Every structure is written in C-alpha cells, then in structure tokens.
Structure 1
Amino acid sequence: MSRPKPSPSRRLSQEAPATAVRSGVSRPAMWRVMEIHKIIRAGRFPNCSTLAAEIEVTPKTVQRDISFMRDQLGMPLKYHALKHGYFYTQEVHEFPMLQLSRNDLVALFLARHALEPLRGTRLERMLTESFSKIAEACPGEVSIAWHELDEAFSVKASGVLPADVTLFGDLLDAVRACREVNFDYHKLTGSKPEQRTVHPYHVGQIEHGWYLFAYDPARRAVRTFALQRITNLSMLKTKFVRETGFNARDHLGGGFGVWSYDGDERRKHEVHVRFEGYAARVVAERQWHPTQAIRKLKADGSVIEFQADLSGLEEITRWVLSWGSKAKVLGPPELMRRVAEEVDGMKVENHPARH
C-alpha cells in the first residue's frame, strides 16, 4: 500500500531538525490525536512503536493518546492480534470533537451571509482568506449543505451598501497605518459636499449603517461620518498620532444612536416615554440603550414606561415620533417641546378646494 501524502503539519515536522525529538520537543495533544486518527483510518494497522516514529513522540505518549481516543472520545478502536496494529471496527466519517451543534451551523450560516454584501471587494477577499486560515487550522473536514439552511433560515441583507464597501479597504489601511485621509462629505443638512481632511480612528457598524470616527483638526474634535456620504476618498502620506484611550462607545457619549453631542447638547437628559398597545410590547422586548429601564404600568404589559439617560435628544425625538399615537412623552419638557413642534410641522395646511 502506498504511503499517504503527508499533511502540511506533517511536512513541517519532516523538515524539522533530527534533534527535535531527542531534545524533548512536544507535540500538541490535539495534533497528535488527529495524526493518529488519520493513520488508523487509512487502514495501515499501526502500533504504538510505528505511530511513535511516525509522529515523532514516545510510544508511551501514543499509548496514552490511544486510551484517550478509545475511552474518552468513544472511538471504535481495537488492536489486531495478527496484524499487530490498531484499526477501527467500524467506519469513522467524522471526528467526534468536530461535530457541529445547531448553534454552530447557524453561526456559520450568518457569517456566510454577512460576506454577501462585500462580494468582489478587497475586504471580502481579506475575510475569506482569514476564514480559510481558520479552516486549515481545524483538523478534519466539515461539509454543509447550504441550501438546506437557506430553506430553514433567512437573513435580511442590510447595513452595507455597494457604495460603502469600496471604501472599506482604504479606510482600514488608513486606520491601521495612522495615515490622514481626504474626502468629500455631504452632510445631511448641507446643499453640497464639502472637503474634509481627518485622522481616521475607527470604522464601526451602528443601526444597520457603517460609520467612520475620525478626528477633524479643523474643528478640533472627533466627528462621525456615514460611509455612504463619503466620496473621492484618498489616503495621504501624512501620519498622525492616535488619541490615547479613544473609544468609539465613549465618543457617542450616551446618545441614542450615531449622533455625538458637544457643549451644552451633551448634558444628560433623563427621558421618560409612555408606550401602550403593540408599541409597549415591542419596546419592552428589545435593548434600545444601555441605560434603559422598563416599568410596567399595567400588569399585562400593555402599558409601560420607558426610561433612559441620554446625552442628546435629536435621535430620541425621531424614535418617539416613529411610534405615532402609541407613544407619549412624559419628560423632559424639552423633548416634549421638540416632539410637539415636529407634529405641528407635519400637519397639512388647509387649501381651497380645486375646481
């Protein structure tokens, strides 16, 4: 019988100096067990001595590994008296330690779909290479019928637009290399894009969108930029020193979403909102903010009070309005005023009937 082609890890051991075994260099237990498994599965009837020579450890170590495989992992191992070697009494298709749980399968499925919006970009290639390295480091083989999972689960593609992904690679390089970037940015309230030169600190996903957190020297503050509103990005040769201790979560400062607040706007607001009906149940089921607290005003949960400590009111105003008549602001007065002004602005003025 021809000798099986050595695995990459085996080839590495063959290239090691001949003194490696004699000097007491140990082999990782998981690596040893998987090598023994592959040799026995090949039908070569190895014994402790031949296995020890094959994987470059002592026969006593092999004997302990064989006992572990048989007694702890439940492998169908048996010693053949005539052929003087070990064999499997039944076909072993999967190594026990590699069996995937339902949670593992769902995690793999979600990871697969997470890469879909990045297809064809440099970031997708980088992530694919990383997954490949992880797969190569895992012993054994795993195959998944993706179409079966597609029939059982679905994932709504959101958060990454085609316009976003073209920026990921360059921004990632700039963040890691501490290099300034220049781009045109169209603010929500602006009539046209304006040029910005910033120090990129962090790229993160918040509320289904991707954002760049960067220090803007012209404004002497860290600003948040939506990737879909960035155009004409270029990485400059100028390097910068990253602010020590910067944290994206701290930068958001307790806001309700991606907005960051400075000066007077950053003061704390204790928000109280009353929800009823379906809105009460949906709001109570989710985590909207780290400081939130839910208090039932009716035992059945049909009426609740939502409370949170926020650093600004811009986004909470829009959130309250999204629930319509199912939400009533209890405080602070400033939030009540903002919501009332928005509701008044939404009213359609009466026009003379057209003839």
Structure 2
Amino acid sequence: MPRNQEVIRQWKLLHALESSRHGATIQGLADELDVTTRTIRRDLAALQEAGFPLFDERDEEGPVKWRLDGQVLKGLDTGFTLQEFCALYLSRNLLETVAATPFQHDLGLAFARLEKLLSPRMRQFLDRLPAVLTAKAGPRARTAADSAATVQKLLEATLHHRAATMRYHSVSSGGIKDYLVHPYKLAFAQGGIYLLAYVPAYRDVRTFAVDRIAGVSLEKQTFTPTERVGDDVFANSLGVNTGPAARVEIEFAPAVAPYVRARVWHTSQQLREGQDGTLVLAMDVCHDWALRSWILSWGRFSRVLTPAALADELRSDLQAASERYAQG
C-alpha cells in the first residue's frame, strides 16, 4: 500500500479512537476503516511507537477496547483535544501560503512552541502528513516582508482609534501623496495586506495597499469611527474592491462549462443551463478590474451577456490585445 494511504489511514484511526467515548474494539475499528484486523493491530503498534498515548483495557466479560488519552497535552491549557491540536500543528503547511507577510516571524515562533509539546516521534509521524496535504501560495507583494513595522503602527492606530499621516505611492498618479487617515481595519487578501481607512479630505473610506505605504506616523489626535466597515470588507468583489455590487451575466462555452459549474466563484452566483451545453453564470459583484480580468482569463470561451457597457469594455480590451499581437 502506498505510504501516503498508510499515513491517512492512521490519522483516521486516531480520530476514530478519540471520537469513541467508551473505547473501540479492533474489529470495530477494522469495520469502520474497511481494513483487516491485522492492519489495525499494525497501525496501533506504529502509533504507540510514535508516542501517541494509546492503551487497551478489558471489561470483566467484554472484549478488549482501545482508547486514546486525550489529556496528553497538559502543557497546553486551552481545552484542545489531541486531534484538534494535531490539526492545528498540521495547518502550518497551509499558513505558509502567507509567508513573506509581516506575520511570518510570529507564526514561526508560535509553531515552534507547539512543537515542544510533542514528542520527537509524534512530530516525526505528523511531519509525514504535509506530504499528502499541500497548498500553493498565490501572488503576493514583493515588499511585504519589509512591512512589519508599518503593520504594527497601523494595528496600534486601528485598535486605539489614533489618526495617522502616511506617504503613499499612488498608482493612479504615479507619484507619492500624503494622507491624513483614520485607520479602520487591516485585511489580508490575495497575497497582500490592505488598510481600510477613512480619509477626512475625501469624506470616504478608501483602500490602501500596505506595501505601497512609504511611511506612516501616528498622531496624538484620536477619532470616532463615522463609517461602518463590515467583517467581509471585499464581499462585493472578486478582488479587493469595496464598491457597490451590480448584476453581471456571463455565458460560458460547453468546453469550460464543467469547470465553471464546479466552483463557487461568489456567494451571489446563480447558474442557468443552456440547451446547447452552454452555461450562464449570474453574479452581483463590483464591475472592477478583478471581474474584467477574471472574465478575460477564460478567453474565447466566455461572453458577457449583461450589462452591455461591460461587454463593450471587454470587446475593446480584446481588440486592443489582438492589435498588439498583430504587431509581431
């Protein structure tokens, strides 16, 4: 049997033992995992050797039952079960997808402390599981690793409602602008950290990419938030836009319809099947660059039905792209 399947089976065995309040028999475990009793015995021995606190007990007339001592983590006073703790330890493989953010160092320290609560053999066993569970990091800001000090100041400003002045590289103007802002919230999305702040000069909440903040200083002046920023700050966008949502309908060709159908692209999405194998996806989202680039990523297999203005914009984009390719 492939090594990966063995690791996954043993992980399921740990879960089955911890979920059983009164213990589990070898035959019961074999039935639950659909393997032989010999395999269960071998896995129990392997887990015991790895340091997991497994023990067996027999009632006066009943069969031998196996249990998992969930109180092994006495050094972690959180109420975590062993299964929950192991899942948290394994999640480091997923959290590495936010590597190179200002939180990378703190995450490393936290997981180093968690590792100390595991025996060397338990760590060796758990370290095999990331081989069957992986995560790919998406694009991220190239300067994010240098933003730790900026993030710390912005967190302080957000928590204590302190006004801040900052120098910001504006993409629209191509230069550096100075802002007085009331920081409301920091959000991590699509590989970057964003500041949502009220700008008194604009009387509006604006979104700033932290990696484009050249400098920030906190003022003695405090503020009272006047605008509400929800928990899901980019709920209306496929990207990082806070604008209003509007209906869009996109028709996908039969060749890509199964791929579109298999995903939830937005919480508002609705699907409509066409008789010719096409698929129409309707969503209520911001008509921003994130939406346009997502539609364009499907190439000739997508077509905007409504609104007409968005269809015209994309038609112009495609024509301009075609002309660039024609230049050779």
TM-score clears 0.5: yes
Determine the structure 1 residue equivalent to 2:265. Answer: 288
Determine the structure 2 residue equivalent to 1:257. Answer: 239
SS at match of 1:254: coil
**Larger Cα-atom Rg:** 1
Q: What TM-score do you get using the length of structure 2 for normalisation?
A: 0.64
Among 296, 316, 325, the alignment partner of 1:341 is 316
Q: 1:124 and 1:235, CA in 2 relative to 1: closer, same or farther beyond 3 A?
A: farther
SS at match of 1:144: helix
Among 295, 308, 320, the alignment partner of 2:295 is 320
Instruction: Answer yes or no: is the 8 Å Cα contact 2:165–2:219 preserved in 1.
Output: yes
The worse-fitting range, judged by mean Cα deviation, of 140-149 and 271-280 is 140-149
- Aligned letter for 2:143? A
- Aligned letter for 2:69? F
**Does residue 95 of the first structure (1) align with residue 78 of the second (2)?**
no
Determine the structure 2 residue equivalent to 1:144. Answer: 123
Matches within 5 A, 1:111-190: 111=92, 113-114=94-95, 123-124=103-104, 143-145=122-124, 147-158=127-138, 161=141, 163-164=143-144, 165-166=147-148, 167-190=150-173
Q: How many angstroms does 1:163 deviate by?
A: 2.5
Distance 2:261 2:315 in 1: 24
Among 109, 121, 125, the alignment partner of 2:90 is 109
Structure 2: runs of 5+ lacking an equivalent: 1-53, 60-65, 73-80
Distance 1:115 1:171 in 2: 23
Distance 1:337 1:213 in 2: 31
Q: How many angstroms does 1:349 deviate by?
A: 5.9
Distance 2:310 2:201 in 1: 31
- Aligned letter for 2:130? D
Matches within 5 A, 1:218-257: 218-243=201-226, 245-249=228-232, 252=234, 254-257=236-239
Q: How many angstroms does 1:150 deviate by?
A: 3.5
SS at match of 1:194: strand
Distance 1:227 1:100 in 2: 38
SS at match of 2:136: coil
Q: How many angstroms does 1:291 deviate by?
A: 0.8
Q: 1:115 and 1:313, CA in 2 relative to 1: closer, same or farther beyond 3 A?
A: closer
Q: How many angstroms does 1:304 deviate by?
A: 1.2
Q: 1:238 and 1:350, CA in 2 relative to 1: closer, same or farther beyond 3 A?
A: closer
Distance 2:100 2:326 in 1: 51
Q: How many angstroms does 1:141 deviate by?
A: 11
- Aligned letter for 1:325? R
Distance 2:197 2:290 in 1: 21
Deviations along 1:14-62, one digit per CA (max 9) or x if unpaired, are xxxxxxxxxxxxxxxxxxxxxxxxxxxxxxxxxxxxxxxxxxxxxxxxx
Deviations along 1:226-253, one digit per CA (max 9) or x if unpaired, are 122222222232221123643153x547
Distance 1:328 1:157 in 2: 30
Distance 2:133 2:325 in 1: 49
Among 296, 301, 304, the alignment partner of 2:279 is 304
Q: 1:141 and 1:100, CA in 2 relative to 1: closer, same or farther beyond 3 A?
A: farther
Instruction: Answer yes or no: is the 8 Å Cα contact 2:89–2:111 preserved in 1.
Output: no
Instruction: Answer yes or no: is the 8 Å Cα contact 2:97–2:135 preserved in 1.
Output: no
- Aligned letter for 1:294? L
- Aligned letter for 2:237? G
Q: How many angstroms does 1:344 deviate by?
A: 1.6
Q: How many angstroms does 1:95 deviate by?
A: 1.6
Instruction: Answer yes or no: is the 8 Å Cα contact 1:181–1:236 preserved in 2.
Output: yes
Q: How many angstroms does 1:143 deviate by?
A: 3.8
Q: How many angstroms does 1:185 deviate by?
A: 1.8
Instruction: Answer yes or no: is the 8 Å Cα contact 1:178–1:199 preserved in 2.
Output: yes
Q: How many angstroms does 1:96 deviate by?
A: 3.6
Distance 1:213 1:118 in 2: 22
